[in-house]
Structure 1
Amino acid sequence: MSALRNRLQSLGAGFAVIAAALGIAAIVLLVSASRAANADVHYAEPGALPVNVLRVVHQDDAAISEAYPGLITARRESDLGFESGGRIAEMAVDVGDRVEAGDRLAVLDTSTLRAQIAAADAQTNEAQAQVEIARATQQRQQILLERGHISQQRLDEVATTTIAAEARRAAAAAQANALRAQLALAEVTAPFSGVVTARMADEGAIAAPGSPVLRLVEDTALEIRIGLPVAAAAPLIVGETYAFETNAGRIEAVFRNSTGVVDVRTRTITALFDISSGPARAGEVARLQLETGIGERGFWVPTSALTEARRGLWSVQVLVEDETGNWMLEPRVVETLRVEVDRAFVRGAVSDNELIVAAGLQRVTPGQRVVPVEG
């Protein structure tokens, strides 16, 4: 039994050695295969990468469209009030009412004023009666002088009395006319057609002289006030029609004039346009579209074609064909002349009809082989 046990233990140990050897051989084979695979990937020749390209076209007269915001306002807007103070007897209009020129809008209580006018008229009539008596007396004194019954001095005194009476009558009439003028000023009328946009007082309130009680806006004559750079305002032609964009749609306005003076704060010139057609309302913003020339030779590229270079410059990746007919990438430095949201106007060492990478610059590097894809 002891001999048999020893023999079995010897056989088990042999099998263990054989299994270990087989496992080591398998590991060696797997490592060799993995190294071979990695060696194939590392040394394989990479293929050319397809890239989206565009063809360079230089322009000498490139123009850009710029939008300048302005405000639509009423050409006339007035705060209306009474020249003389008093108690308001009537407010004939309310906010939102449309009125025509000459319409009555508000009236003061004029009972006291009318009584003063009546008193002034009575004084005028009394002065007129005194004038008539003085004139009659002067005529009789003239007859007496011709008959030699009175002296010239007496006639002169009577004539002076007549002149004084006429002066008192003129003063009384002037006082009555002044009160009638105040009566006319006790009524507010519309100086132009428009819409009442504010009412600051009601019946029974005491209006101070010159204090506004109503605001009237001329809604039939709207204008646009807009601040423009000097270069943008210079080409505008008086009487020419220009297009504006609003939230309600497109409107047209005629250029009336400009101040010609540069505002020291905004560095702009105020231009005035009269709206001729379109859905315009006072208080809205209108944007003027103007074409402005760049004045430099260059070409347009999408912003996705630019990568930042040194010293504030930019670069594009140009496709260069080698002697074997393959395309390689070559960086070229460009200068931006105008940058918009999705494109830029640049100039640099790039010729007409050369191809540049339009997008996907994060996928490529200078010197890489590529295949151009236009469109």
Structure 2
Amino acid sequence: MRATSLTARFLARSFVPLAAAALLLAGCKEQQEEHAPLPRPVRAITAERSEDGETAMLTGQILAENEAALAFRIGGRMIERSVGVGDAVTPDKVLAKLDPVNEENALRSARAALSAAEGRLVQARNNFDRQNTLLQRGFTTRVLFDQAEQELRTSQSAVDDAQAQLQMAEDRLSFTELRANVTGSVTARLAEAGEVVQPGQTIFQVAREDGRDAVFDVPANLLRSVPANAPIAVTLTDDPSTIAQGRVRTVDPQADPVTRTFRVRVGLIDSPAAMRLGATVTGRVQLEGTPGVKIPASALTKINNQPAVWIVDPKSSTVALRNVEIARFDPGSVLVSEGLDDGDIVVTAGVQALHPGQAVRLLGSRS
């Protein structure tokens, strides 16, 4: 009886720790199941290899193919302005005038000087003719004849100089009127009546009517990808049905110091009348084809100091790193030449927090 009681007591004491341990293990298992990591949501694209070049689009404006800066050839106070921005001009049309008082006085002075020089020339010629007649008859000396001849030459030179001064005075008077020498329209007015202007200071900017250019600011990497003599389609931004064809006419040799872009002028062929000066246009050009896969720049990461991307395994929904070769860096995107195949799922957002083998869930798909 006593042995049976001891056995029962021993079994009871052993069962309690075993039951507690079993309950503890069951709780840990439930806790581990409750805190199992969820698939990380990411955004991704499906790689698609392309052999053809892309179509680049840029926004620019319509400018005149040739522009003329009109200025006075002399300085003075401008008293009259006859045209404004947008006005049409034709050759020899008076656009502005300077105060002509000083030039008119200089012209009168030049005319008076010429008249006086011509009077002295008449006197010198009469004296020379008289001395020549007397010398032939032997009634004068050779010295007096030479003096008369020298006075005649001097007087003739004085008349020539006075005539030149008169011509200069007449030219300066005509320079007080600014006349157009081209057919076109005024695009800028840089001085007003009452201002004192300097010689050569631009007063009007005139766009010639002999052509139109579409002007674009092009990044250097895009400029290198445009084929030589490539056709460019130019459309009005607010009316895409208005279209003109053109080709690159000039490329600035130096980049803009602020934007680091190059100004490109595209000469338009038979531009429509709707493409007025200053109109905003969109240019489209087919770039040279570079085989590869274009992906967003946000998809790019690095492994072993080499470019890499995260690839999603569609069967296991896990990610793995893969090295790639970059053919070209574009604003906001990169062109991958090697390392990606058609159908590869490339992570484009959330790449910083991934690790190999991590389970992911593609945003937009059901988990």
* SS of equivalent to 1:254: strand
- The amino acid of 1:210's aligned partner reads P
* Partner Cα distance (1:343, 1:209) in 2: 52
- The amino acid of 1:209's aligned partner reads Q
* Partner Cα distance (1:163, 1:341) in 2: 79
2:250 matches 1:257: yes
Q: Which residue of 1 aligns with 2:283?
A: 288
* Partner Cα distance (2:113, 2:251) in 1: 57
Q: 1:215 aligns with which of 186, 204, 210?
A: 204
* SS of equivalent to 1:180: helix
* SS of equivalent to 1:257: strand
Give the drift of 1:333.
3.8
* Partner Cα distance (2:331, 2:114) in 1: 81
Say if 2:309 and 2:321, in contact at 8 Å, map to a contact too. Answer: yes
Q: Which residue of 2 aligns with 1:201?
A: 192
Q: Which residue of 2 aligns with 1:11?
A: none
Q: 1:155 aligns with which of 128, 133, 145?
A: 145
2:57 matches 1:67: yes
CA change 1:257–1:234 in 2 (3 A) is farther
Give the drift of 1:69.
4.2
2:130 matches 1:135: no
* Partner Cα distance (1:300, 1:86) in 2: 62
Give the drift of 1:114.
3.2
Q: 1:180 aligns with which of 162, 166, 170?
A: 170
Q: Deviations over 1:126-174 (max 9, x none)?
A: 3223212322221221121122111111100111111121122122212
* SS of equivalent to 1:253: strand
CA change 1:349–1:150 in 2 (3 A) is closer
* Partner Cα distance (1:347, 1:132) in 2: 93
Q: 1:232 aligns with which of 223, 238, 258?
A: 223
Q: Which residue of 2 aligns with 1:22?
A: none
2:156 matches 1:166: yes
* Partner Cα distance (1:345, 1:213) in 2: 48
Q: 1:83 aligns with which of 74, 77, 82?
A: 74
Q: Which residue of 2 aligns with 1:37?
A: none
Say if 2:309 and 2:346, in contact at 8 Å, map to a contact too. Answer: no
CA change 1:56–1:210 in 2 (3 A) is closer
- The amino acid of 2:249's aligned partner reads R
Say if 1:225 and 1:270, in contact at 8 Å, map to a contact too. Answer: yes
* Partner Cα distance (2:58, 2:87) in 1: 34
- The amino acid of 2:220's aligned partner reads P
Q: 2:84 aligns with which of 94, 98, 106?
A: 94
Give the drift of 1:187.
0.3
Give the drift of 1:268.
4.6
- The amino acid of 1:316's aligned partner reads I
Q: Which residue of 2 aligns with 1:274?
A: 267
Give the drift of 1:125.
2.7
* Partner Cα distance (1:231, 1:93) in 2: 41
Size of the aligned set, in residue pairs, is 304
CA change 1:81–1:115 in 2 (3 A) is closer
Give the drift of 1:315.
2.6
Larger Rg, first or second structure (1 or 2): 1
Give the drift of 1:188.
0.4
- The amino acid of 1:272's aligned partner reads R
Say if 1:195 and 1:219, in contact at 8 Å, map to a contact too. Answer: yes
CA change 1:236–1:314 in 2 (3 A) is closer
* SS of equivalent to 2:75: coil
* Structure 1 residue ranges without an equivalent (≥5): 1-41, 43-52, 321-327
* Partner Cα distance (2:119, 2:300) in 1: 103
Say if 1:80 and 1:213, in contact at 8 Å, map to a contact too. Answer: yes
* Partner Cα distance (2:345, 2:200) in 1: 70
Give the drift of 1:330.
6.0
Say if 1:332 and 1:349, in contact at 8 Å, map to a contact too. Answer: no
Give the drift of 1:212.
4.9
* SS of equivalent to 1:274: strand
CA change 1:207–1:345 in 2 (3 A) is closer
- The amino acid of 2:197's aligned partner reads A
* Structure 2 residue ranges without an equivalent (≥5): 1-32, 34-43, 351-356
- The amino acid of 1:292's aligned partner reads L
CA change 1:122–1:366 in 2 (3 A) is closer
- The amino acid of 2:198's aligned partner reads P
What's the TM-score, normalizing by structure 2? 0.63
CA change 1:176–1:315 in 2 (3 A) is same
Say if 1:72 and 1:280, in contact at 8 Å, map to a contact too. Answer: yes
* SS of equivalent to 1:83: coil
Q: Which residue of 1 aligns with 2:7?
A: none
CA change 1:236–1:101 in 2 (3 A) is farther
